[in-house]
């Protein structure tokens, strides 16, 4: 078992009045997950996303394949 603590960060593109998520990418290598949380509620729930699906999501966002 690892005792790594999440190191949270918000994207530099997240300058939209606080409606952001934070991720802790430092846990990909040790746990294979990317924790995600609401930046307005850092003590609230955390969603652990597996590294593969998270990478696919980011690639889709970068390729502008997702729409609102």
pLDDT tens track for 47-68: 999 999 999 999 998 898 876 6
Q: Going by C-beta distance under 8 Å and a sequence separation of 6 or more, which residues neighbour residue 25?
A: 7, 9, 34
What pLDDT is attached to residue 1?
47
What pLDDT is attached to residue 55?
94
Q: What is the pLDDT of residues 1-43, one digit of tens each?
A: 456 899 999 877 666 666 788 999 999 999 999 999 998 899 9
Q: Where are the alpha helices (DSSP H) in 1-68?
A: 28-31, 51-62
What pLDDT is attached to residue 3?
65
Contact at 8 Å (CB) between 10 and 33? Answer: no
């Amino acid at each position: 078992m690892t005792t790594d603590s999440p190191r949270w960060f918000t994207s530099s593109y997240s300058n939209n009045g606080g409606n952001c998520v934070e991720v802790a990418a430092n846990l990909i290598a040790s746990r294979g997950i990317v924790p995600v949380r609401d930046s307005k509620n850092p003590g609230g729930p955390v969603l652990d996303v597996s590294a593969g699906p998270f990478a696919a999501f980011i690639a889709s966002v970068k390729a502008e394949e997702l729409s609102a």
